[in-house]
């Protein structure tokens, strides 16, 4: 079975501060990992993904994430928060060799203060 845990339902930062959103997964096989962003009353859009190769992946809007197998983590970071980053962020995992059904974490709401 696969599962995704996002630590912290809400994260609050000041504009210009570092953004760190945490995601841990459980899997006995190599995972495919994704971060999606959702703005109010909209669907989700992909920020970045890890499939194979380089463990540090860069996405849109200045976000990046690092796959750490030893820690079963895929934390999302951005060096400097912008007001427009305020949104809900979801981590998702797909297991290789299975039915390839995405499983989502519960989401983290990012609040950016001026």
Partner 1 sequence: DGGITQSPKYLFRKEGQNVTLSCEQNLNHDAMYWYRQDPGQGLRLIYYSQIVNDFQKGDIAEGYSVSREKKESFPLTVTSAQKNPTAFYLCASKKTQSGNEKLFFGSGTQLSVL
Q: Based on CB atoms, which residue is closest to partner 1, 49 or 66?
A: 49
- Nearest approach in angstroms of CB 59 to partner 1 is 11
Q: Based on CB atoms, which residue is closest to partner 1, 19 or 90?
A: 90
- Nearest approach in angstroms of CB 114 to partner 1 is 25
Residues that bind partner 1 (CB under 8 A): 6, 9, 32, 34, 36, 41-46, 49, 51-52, 90, 92, 94-96, 98-107
Angle, CA of 101, 107 and 109, to the nearest 5°: 155
Residue 29 near residue 81 (C-beta atoms within 8 A): no
- Nearest approach in angstroms of CB 80 to partner 1 is 25
Residue 20 near residue 73 (C-beta atoms within 8 A): no
Q: Which residue from 67, 64, 78, 69 is spatially nearest to 16, judged by alpha carbons? A: 78
Q: Based on CB atoms, which residue is closest to partner 1, 14 or 69?
A: 69
Q: Based on CB atoms, which residue is closest to partner 1, 15 or 32?
A: 32
Phi, psi of 72 (to 5 degrees): 45, 50
- Nearest approach in angstroms of CB 32 to partner 1 is 4
Residue 48 near residue 56 (C-beta atoms within 8 A): no
């Amino acid at each position: 079975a696969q599962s995704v845990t996002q630590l912290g339902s809400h994260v609050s930062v000041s504009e210009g501060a570092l953004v760190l959103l945490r995601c841990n997964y459980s899997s006995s096989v190599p995972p495919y990992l994704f971060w999606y962003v959702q703005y109010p009353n909209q669907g989700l859009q992909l920020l970045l993904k890890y499939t194979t190769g380089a463990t540090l992946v860069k996405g849109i809007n200045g976000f990046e994430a690092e796959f750490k197998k030893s820690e079963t983590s895929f934390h999302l970071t951005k060096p400097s928060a912008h007001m427009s980053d305020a949104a809900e962020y979801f981590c998702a995992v797909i297991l290789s060799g299975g039915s390839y059904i995405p499983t989502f974490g519960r989401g983290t709401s990012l609040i950016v203060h001026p």
